[in-house]
Amino acid sequence: MQIMIKTEHLSKEYGGKKVVDDLDLQVNLQETFGFLGPNGAGKTTTIRMLTTLTKPTFGRVWINGFDGVKEPTKVKREFGIVQQHLSLNRELSVRENLDLHARLH
């Protein structure tokens, strides 16, 4: 079966606090996957790493075989996103945020 999403030891820290800790995940082609958990569980941070908006502190991400850190442009071609709320990415400039939202819409 073709692997569409894969993470190995995916971790993210902010100021020494681990918000995603050693996540191993695999989602195969044609599987339906729900990403559920309480507030503060690391769901948004994980999605941001899967979509190349945030770089992992440690670990690896592959989307349809493309490395999320080494091949972000190819990864971005592999998924679509619908945001619940419009928000600004503080890691991007104003121009980059405008460009991102224009491309998403």
pLDDT in tens, the chain (105 residues): 899 999 999 999 999 999 999 999 999 999 998 889 999 999 999 999 999 999 999 999 999 999 999 999 999 989 876 666 667 888 889 998 888 877 776
60 φ/ψ angles, rounded to the nearest 5 degrees: -135, 155
What is the pLDDT, as a whole number, of residue 83?
65
- Cα distance between residue 31 and residue 105, in whole Å: 26
What is the pLDDT, as a whole number, of residue 89?
80
- Cα distance between residue 65 and residue 42, in whole Å: 23
What is the pLDDT, as a whole number, of residue 17?
94
What is the pLDDT, as a whole number, of residue 103?
75
Q: Helix and strand tally (H, E) in the chain? A: 3, 4
HSE on the CB side for 101, CA within 13 Å? 13
What is the pLDDT, as a whole number, of residue 85?
67
